[in-house]
Amino acid sequence: MPKLKTRKSASKRYKITGNNLFLRRHAYKGHLLMKKSNRQKRKLSQVLCVNINDTNAIKLMLPYY
């Protein structure tokens, strides 16, 4: 059976925890930051877990994680 390819974009965006949960970053932190408040930018900097409903799709993109 051939090797499965990893989606490189997904491997850069998601990290896996010890409990097999995936971590992701918030959106809207890339540009146009002057109009956003410091509180909003601070909250967007936090890392959070991916929703359980989306983990199966991520596992397909990352077969060896």
Whole-number pLDDT of residue 65: 85
Domain membership flag for residue 49: yes
Range of the domain at 35: 8-61
Domain membership flag for residue 12: yes
Q: What confidence category does residue 1 fall into, taking pLDDT thresholds of 50, 70 and 90?
A: confident
Domain membership flag for residue 3: no
Mean pLDDT across 29-46: 97
d(CA 60, CA 32): 33
Q: What is the mean pLDDT of the chain?
A: 96
Domain membership flag for residue 13: yes
How many domains does one find in the chain?
1
Domain membership flag for residue 18: yes
Domain with 47 in it: what CATH number? 4.10.410.60
Domain membership flag for residue 33: yes
Q: In the block, which residue shows the tokens 């956003």?
A: 36
d(CA 27, CA 46): 11
Domain membership flag for residue 52: yes
Closest-CA residue to 61 (of 29, 18, 30, 24): 24
